[in-house]
Amino acid sequence: MKLVWFVAFLLALVCGALGQECPKGFQQQDGQCVTPRPVHGECPAKSTYSVNKNLCIYS
C-alpha cells in the first residue's frame, strides 16, 4: 500500500513539471508566458494584453 502512494506522488511531480511549459509561440519571462503583440491585430487566443509590459500574457 505504501508503494502505491509513492508512485502516485512521483506521477504528480512529473505531471506538475510538464504542465509548466509555455504554449507554442510564447516565451517564459518573469514567471509568465509572453509574446509580442502584433502591430495590426490582437493577442493570440487565451492571452490578454498588458499595457505595462507591452506584451500579450498567456492566461
Summarised one tens digit per residue, pLDDT across range 4-36 is 888 887 777 766 665 668 888 899 988 899 999
Beta bridge partners of 33: 28
d(CA 24, CA 33): 10
Q: Is the pTM of this model over 0.95?
A: no
d(CA 25, CA 3): 40
Name every residue whose Cβ is closer than 8 Å to that of residue 33 and which is 6 or more positions away in sequence.
22, 23, 26, 27, 57, 58
Q: How many structural domains are present in the chain?
A: 1
Full residue range of the structural domain in which residue 16 is found:
3-58
d(CA 35, CA 5): 39
Beta bridge partners of 32: 29
